[in-house]
A and B are shown apart, each in its own frame.
Chain A
């Protein structure tokens, strides 16, 4: 029953999306409101239909309908309720349906909220979002249907089909439940409850700016309408993407058990690339808003952000690259490739066509090389270079090496740690300078004066760091550049509040609150910069000063690393958890100055039922703001067959300095982005309308 409901609503959703796409374009061409309205209504219907389909699958998961092959693949009778829920995105078919649902949700929101404005743009926005959505629904429906069921064929063989094939019978329910596979152990973690939805939201949200940009190109309404309409959508997608990346890092840190959070794995990089281009776009689009420049360039950025997102999805799900993260190889590679290539080529051609018509001409010339717009252009160069270098390492070099020499090569951390740091340094440097610069023109003297206070603070911080033992030149350079960017963000905010306090006579705290109320975009942007600074410090600390050691200890023995001492107290072997996994847990005391500061329990889990990767090493960590003392149980041996308590265990121990700043910085970044997305206070907004629009203050650079 659920299978039929799900499939039927998918068919209907696919139909309405295709209808909306076609009729929307037709209506726009013939300028018939009736058609456009009909298309929009159809488009709005896709989301509820996808919701019905997703709820059917969810209901099937929760009620253990193992005849549905997806349910059989990702859950078993031991699966706790929470993981039945997250199993919705636990494997290819379900996660694609979930992906469609989220994309449908974004399209629904955009059409509902922006639907009544921008009469020229909206029909094409409908068309482009629905085309994208229809493609993904089509993939689910025709190639990866999660509602397929198992049947026993006439000859006793197992077949998988949505509808009962002729002569086939329903398999034995008990046998199905008994053989069900259960969720991939790697996904049984709280991080996995929230990481994929966030990443998917970030990914699918990019369809909105893409659709608006394409609509602008197709309709010829190349004013800043599309930018105004999409700023919040782009920021929302960017927020979710950032969250997804940070949570992914956290998940890797907790679950993958190698002491780090970012492994430069092609799949991680595939998610990072759209973030990089998207960030470049968020900055460069401000130049277009303020100065009417870089119109062609912005179009390229928005289309390549979308293109990178589709490419990442395609590369991850098609088996183009081998990766620990990738989904099993499947047939959807070719259709996804075609969609990616078509979207990119159509986008690029549309841009060049409009540019050829002279419709993307700049309204201003660059007034000065030392201006905010030039610094933003430099920022774009850095982001594009980062994108290029990371793309090359993850995909380009392995593919080209394979095609030209037939050699499989691995591009690992070594490459990325050599190529990206200089670019990130320039990025942070620009992050420090650009907010101090002005639109139009700026002299070096003025910039220098604005820099005095943050630079002085940075120097003081560096001297303190040096005196407290950080003498590595590279680290000091890194900390210096990153700190400068942070101090500039804080200093500019304080300066803004102080100026307001002077003018209005409010006290400083009230002034601070008010400037945030009046210009959320600018000050929210500074908080985002602060978050990126905090992350940067965490990354430098945990990358350059990580310590690790591995030792085999008998009970009672100790091991010292970086000011901590760990004592191996005992090992609990063969604990069985409620979901059936078998755990070996080490009890460890962490001592500092001979006092116990923490008891941690690193463990080794075995999932006897799971196929393939069936063990997990879960770290135990003593976490402080200064560092993490992170312990992995690598293995254990009995030393005396006669005495079951004679055990030695091998531990891998990491000291990860400042790693928590990465997570805290992530929170700050989220806070800043939320502030940027929120509308300004009513009063402020009115004041802004009254003052002339092109001179709106500052930017969330």
Chain B
């Protein structure tokens, strides 16, 4: 289980960049979208999404595009968008993942036959 959660965290970085490349989103929207489009595989521990967003923001791969402040209880929707640096990171990350998936499939499928 521990291995799975570590593994998912590694994947989440690429997926968050991919979703933000499509349109800017705020945290809850991003978590819900990730959950829905991954058929629930990425539904666990939504709180881990924010450290990921902050670290991507610190690295300059995403930025806060706009904020919507609701009057009650100081709630704020911060919409994140990809920066050019984030787009480059996404492209290199996707090609790495494709290679890994291809390699895994080749080995696992040849082992099964």
Is chain B a partner of chain A in the same complex?
no
